[in-house]
Amino acid sequence: MIRMAVGAVIQKDDKLLLVHKVKGAQGKIKGMWDFPKGGMEPQDKSMEAALLRELEEETGSTKFTITKPFKDRIAFRFDAVTQEKLGFEGQETTMFLVEYAGDGTDLKPQDDEIDDIRWFSIDDVAQLLFPEARVFFESYVLVRGED
C-alpha cells in the first residue's frame, strides 16, 4: 500500500521556504531540509485541506494560499522500519505551489519533528533536498517553471 501525502513549494518574493526535519517514523534522523509535507489523514476533506493542516502543523502559520497543484509528484519507498511502523510500502506526495502572506514572525516549528524553518534562494534549494525531492525540484520547478 502507498501512503498518499501532500506537500508545498512555498514562495514569497524570490525565496522558498524549507523545514529542517530531525525526526521521522523511525525516530531521530540526521537533519535534512525538505519541503513541508505529510500524509493525508482520514478526517481531511480534500488534498488542499490536508495541505493547510500540514502547513500549520509544521510551521505554525495559517498565512498560506494554495496557488495550484503541480502535475508531477514525489514518490519513494520507505525503509523496512518505517514500512512496519506506518503500514505502508512507500509514499506518493502531491505537491502544490503555495504563496506565503505573513511577515515571518508566525513561522515556528510546532513539534519535535522539525527544529528549524528558513527561507532560501531558489538557486540554493536543490542541493539541500533529499534525492527524490531534488529530482522533482530540478526537473519540474526549475526547468518547467510554474506550469
DSSP state of 142: I
Q: Which residues pair with 113 in a beta bridge?
A: none
Q: What is the pLDDT of residue 27?
A: 63
- Please give the grid coordinates belonging to residue 40: 493525508
Any idea what DSSP says for residue 138?
I
- pLDDT of res. 146: 47
3-state secondary structure of 30: strand
Reported pTM: 0.88
pLDDT digits (tens, 9 = 90+) for 25-78: 566 778 899 999 999 999 999 999 999 999 999 999 999 999 999 998 999 888
pLDDT of residue 147: 44
For residue 81, name the pLDDT band (cuts at 50, 70, 90).
confident
